[in-house]
């Protein structure tokens, strides 16, 4: 533990490791500020709070699959996927039994979590907004 987490009650500690980067972040359960990146306490929310890159082309609105990740450990402490997430996952590449959308998988209790962000990134934005490119000058 570093200086920021040494005063956290171990019963309230959340530890998330993002692979393949191997970056581990620690915080007190329920203490993260939420800035509308996916659901509060989702893996996307955690990533945004700690500067871990997890693509989210739709802004965390469950309208694409760019935040698709694999939960390697800790799944018992997560929210169950709802119908919207399950429907969206049908459009994702390389879906596995441990696949979740980072914007929807919410940490429900303290514990240790390991997630893997696939090396590929597929953008399936489907919220109906056209891509706007900047004009060349």
Residue 127 has pLDDT above 60, yes or no: no
Domain membership of residue 23 as a residue range = 10-116
- Report yes or no on 34 lying in a domain: yes
Neighbours of 34 (CB within 10 A): 13
- Report yes or no on 129 lying in a domain: no
- Report yes or no on 79 lying in a domain: yes
- Report yes or no on 133 lying in a domain: no
- Report yes or no on 4 lying in a domain: no
CATH of the domain at 35: 3.10.20.30
Confidence at 8, pLDDT banded by 50, 70, 90: confident
The reported pTM is: 0.83
pLDDT digits (tens, 9 = 90+) for 20-32: 989 999 999 999 8
Domain total in the chain: 1
The CA-based angle 101-107-8, given to 5 degrees, is 140
């Amino acid at each position: 533990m570093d200086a920021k987490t040494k005063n956290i009650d171990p019963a309230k500690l959340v530890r998330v490791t993002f692979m393949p980067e191997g970056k581990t972040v620690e915080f007190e359960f329920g203490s993260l500020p939420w800035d509308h990146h996916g659901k509060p306490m989702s893996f996307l929310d955690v990533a945004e709070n700690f500067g871990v890159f997890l693509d989210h082309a739709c802004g965390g609105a469950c309208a694409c699959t760019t935040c698709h990740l694999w939960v390697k450990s800790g799944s018992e402490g997560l929210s169950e996927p709802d119908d919207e997430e399950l429907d969206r996952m049908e459009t994702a590449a390389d879906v596995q039994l441990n696949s979740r959308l980072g914007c929807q998988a919410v940490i429900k209790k303290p514990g240790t979590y390991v997630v893997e962000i696939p090396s590929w990134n597929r953008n399936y934005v489907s919220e109906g907004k056209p891509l706007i490119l900047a004009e060349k000058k």
